[in-house]
A and B are shown apart, each in its own frame.
Chain A
Amino acid sequence: GENVEQHPSTLSVQEGDSAVIKCTYSDSASNYFPWYKQELGKGPQLIIDIRSNVGEKKDQRIAVTLNKTAKHFSLHITETQPEDSAVYFCAAAGGGSYIPTFGRGTSLIVHP
C-alpha cells in the first residue's frame, strides 16, 4: 500500500515568514494529493489539493508543488499569521485506491 512520509514534525516561524512542509510518497500510481489543516479539538479540513497532471497550484497565501519523478510534494505558506498555527497533514491517493493515506502531520507554530 501507499506510504507517506512528512517533514518536519514541528515547524516554528515568526509571523510574516514563509513555511514549507514536505512530503514523499511511495506509490508511483498515486495521482491525488490533498492537504488538510487540523485545529485543536477539530477534525481535519481540506485547504488545497493537487492532481498529478498539474505541477503547481496556488490559492492566495497557500501553494502546493508536485514532483512526480521524485515522488514528493510540498506545501508553501507565505506571510504566515498566528491563525495559521495548526497541524497540517499531507495525503496521497490513487493507483489501487482513491482513499487518501495520510502523513504523520506537521505542527506549525506562528509566533506573533
Chain B
Amino acid sequence: EAGVAQSPRYKIIEKRQSVAFWCNPISGHATLYWYQQILGQGPKLLIQFQNNGVVDDSQLPKDRFSAERLKGVDSTLKIQPAKLEDSAVYLCASSLADYSPLHFGNGTRLTVT
C-alpha cells in the first residue's frame, strides 16, 4: 500500500510569513493526525481528525495555526504568522482505527528565520 504522502519536504520562511503543509493519508484510514517534532524531542500532537471532523485540537495554537480536512481525505496545516519557535518537522500520520498503529509520512522540515 502507498504510504502517507506529505509535501513539501522542506520549507524556509521568514518570521511573520505564512506557510501551508499538505498531507494525503493511507487510503481507507479514517483518522489523521498532525504532529510537531522539535529537534531532539518526540512528536507532539497538534490536531486529530476523524473523517473530516476534529476530535482533539487542544494542543493547537489556534491564534496562528489552523488545519482542515476536506472530504475526509487530504488535509492541510497552515501557520500564519510564523514565529521562530515554529521551526520543526511537521509530521502527518494516519491510522485505521482506535489503538491501531500510526503510519507516519516523512514530514515537512520548516525553518523560520
Contact = CB atoms under 8 A, between A and B. Distances in A.
Interface of A: 4, 6, 32, 34, 36, 41-46, 49, 89, 91, 93, 97-105
B88 interface: no
B41 A43 contact: no
A41 B106 contact: yes
A109 to B, nearest CB: 15
- SS of A interface (majority): strand
Contacts of B41: 104-105
A2 B82 CA distance: 28
A10 B107 CA distance: 23
Contacts of B103: 46
Contacts of B91: 43-44
B44 A34 contact: no
Contact of B48 (A34, A99, A102): A99
B56 A102 contact: no
A43 B99 contact: no
Given A36-B104, A44-B43, 18 more contacts: A4-B42, A6-B42, A41-B106, A42-B107, A43-B4, A43-B93, A44-B102, A44-B104, A45-B104, A46-B103, A49-B101, A89-B43, A97-B56, A99-B33, A101-B45, A103-B42, A104-B42, A105-B40
Nearest to A6: B42
Contacts of B40: 104-105
Nearest to B3: A43
A6 B43 CA distance: 13
